[in-house]
Amino acid sequence: MTFMPHPGVSAAVRTFLSKPHPLFIGGEWVEPVGGGSFSTFDPATGAHLAEIGEAEAADVDRAVMAARAAFDGPWSRLSARARANLLFRLADLITLHQDTFEQLEVLDNGMPRFVARATVSSRPDLFRYYAGWPERIEGATIPNSGYRAPGDELFTYTLREPVGVAGLIAPWNVPLAIACLKLAPALAAGCTVVLKPAELTPLSALLLGELIAEADFPPGVVNIVNGVGAVVGAAIAQHPGIDKVSFTGSTAVGKSIVQAAAGNLKRVSLELGGKAPVIIFADADLETTLPAVVGAIYGLQGQNCMAATRIYVESKIFDRVVAEAARLADEMKLGHGMDADSQLGPIISERHRDRVMSLIDSGLAEGAELVTGGRALEGPGYFVSPAVFADTQPNMRIMRDEIFGPVGCFQRFADGDLEGVAAAANDTEYGLAAGVWTTNLSKAHRMARMVRAGQMSINCHGATGVNIPFGGFKQSGWGREFAKDGLDLYLETKSVTARF
């Protein structure tokens, strides 16, 4: 197949795409055991991008062996300062190659360039943040109050040690960002890793592998195995040589990973689905609220676990809010992510576009009013025009299922009914993100207490940061990423007591 490049694609990206893309195991680029490969495509045009080596379970075995050898060998002998310096070096290399990363994210995922710029540019800071932790991983001394014989002196202290070999399974919606979000704390903690990028978006992880080699990480510390989730992801989840799995993706797949991990009771952290409620009160500053909420609905084409998909609006302003949201949605420019004026890119694949359209159709069948959008556009690529549904009901599929597409569902609530709207917001199996818009801070903080979500925003949406813990309640996941909480996912506590 021939790659038909977008006119804005750089020579560096063309060169990268033209190279072979095998597996990265034990510090070397190696062919898969079975010799298989798969293609990756530009979802905005359907154009072929590259051929990717396709791993099998036997390749996961090789990667785990390499990771274990590194963990038991050179990686464990490195000082905390040396480990930190490698993370700083990798951060500098990502900065040096930022333009290439941005273009690969656009081509592989379809996201607009401004989104790629924001997600890529923050990754060096993530590595630098975690590079500050290896020398700050500390235990404690503990007074011993347990039984001891007369005259015994006891001294107890704790050690914080890496959990071991970590399997990292990254999603396709923000490929580089989430791969780095898992990789940086795992390496800072002293783990070695087997990283599986999503089969739909493997390119940025493969470039990251090249930079890891250039940064002189010891062989086997980072291993990258491309392949299908049902094969490679499943092999990682159930592998007895892996001590911990970190997964970001759907709740259904997260449940299957928990079941597979039971074999050796490996530790599991999960960042799963969401159905974020956003509550707009009549006293909100609508001039700033509405553009921000529309951006929260359609950012990344709605393919975002924090996407504002359920919008609850106080009754007295409901019609105005829906009309303005529809106007803003209609004005959004859909196009290839490399085009400077594009605000929305395509859905990731034909299969996922069909799923989004089936949910839109279900909304119509169940009686919701489609105010605008919700059409699969003709021509190349998998574009869906941003949809606004009005007067939705809580039992509708579009209000209950994670759509992961550009669909906003608006529902009115009675004026002043804080308890009622909080109950509606909590009426979901998910609990990842939520938001409230009001100029009354007392009301805002009351809602923050009443809504059950791991990330609550007031007069903003999804304001994550490297030092802010992020994760979900209920079926939105286990554990917290970012900040020190993200480091703790990869550490064990050992208690040591000495008698003297």
CA distance 360 to 191: 43
Characterize the bridge pairing of strands 141-142 and 154-162.
antiparallel
For residue 156, the Cα-to-chain-centroid distance in whole angstroms is 39
Query: How far is CA 88 from each of CA 454, 466, 467, rounded to the nearest angstrom?
Result: 30, 15, 17
Query: How far is CA 126 from each of CA 39, 115, 287, 457, rounded to the nearest angstrom?
Result: 30, 17, 33, 21
Please report the pLDDT score of residue 4 as a whole number.
62
CA distance 31 to 53: 7
Residue with tokens 């813990």: 469
In the chain, where are the structural domains located? 11-272+476-497, 276-465
The separation between the first and the last C-alpha atoms of the chain, rounded to the nearest angstrom, is 72
CB-based contact 155:497 (threshold 8 Å) = yes
CB-count burial class (<10 Å; 0-12, 13-18, 19+) for 341: exposed
CA distance 202 to 208: 10
Q: Which CATH number fits domain 276-465: 3.40.309.10, 3.40.50.150, 1.10.274.10, 1.20.120.1690?
A: 3.40.309.10
Please report the pLDDT score of residue 495 as a whole number.
95
How do the residues of the chain divide into helix, strand and coil, expressed in percent and rounded to 5? 40, 20, 40
Assigned token pair, 463: 């304001």
CB-based contact 296:278 (threshold 8 Å) = yes
Active site residue 271: yes
CA distance 304 to 246: 18
Assigned token pair, 196: 């599986």
- pLDDT tens string, the chain, 500 residues long: the values are 445 668 889 999 999 999 999 999 999 999 999 999 999 999 999 999 999 999 999 999 999 999 999 999 999 999 999 999 999 999 999 999 999 999 999 999 999 999 999 999 999 999 999 999 999 999 999 988 766 666 678 889 999 999 999 999 999 999 999 999 999 999 999 999 999 999 999 999 999 999 999 999 999 999 999 999 999 999 999 999 999 999 999 999 999 999 999 999 999 999 999 999 999 999 999 999 999 999 999 999 999 999 999 999 999 999 999 999 999 999 999 999 999 999 999 999 999 999 999 999 999 999 999 999 999 999 899 999 999 999 899 999 999 999 999 999 999 999 999 999 999 999 999 999 999 999 999 999 999 999 999 999 999 998 899 999 999 999 999 999 999 999 999 999 999 999 87
Active site residue 138: no
Q: Which of 305, 324, 402, 409 is catalytic?
A: 305
Assigned token pair, 322: 């829906």
Instruction: Evaluate the CA torsion angle 475, 481, 483, 488 in order and state its sign.
Output: positive
The pTM of this model reads: 0.95
Q: Which of 271, 314, 324, 402 is catalytic?
A: 271
Please report the pLDDT score of residue 1 as a whole number.
42
Please report the pLDDT score of residue 7 as a whole number.
82
CA distance 346 to 382: 5
Q: Which CATH number fits domain 11-272+476-497: 3.90.120.10, 3.90.1820.10, 3.40.605.10, 3.40.50.720?
A: 3.40.605.10
DSSP assignment letter at 445: H
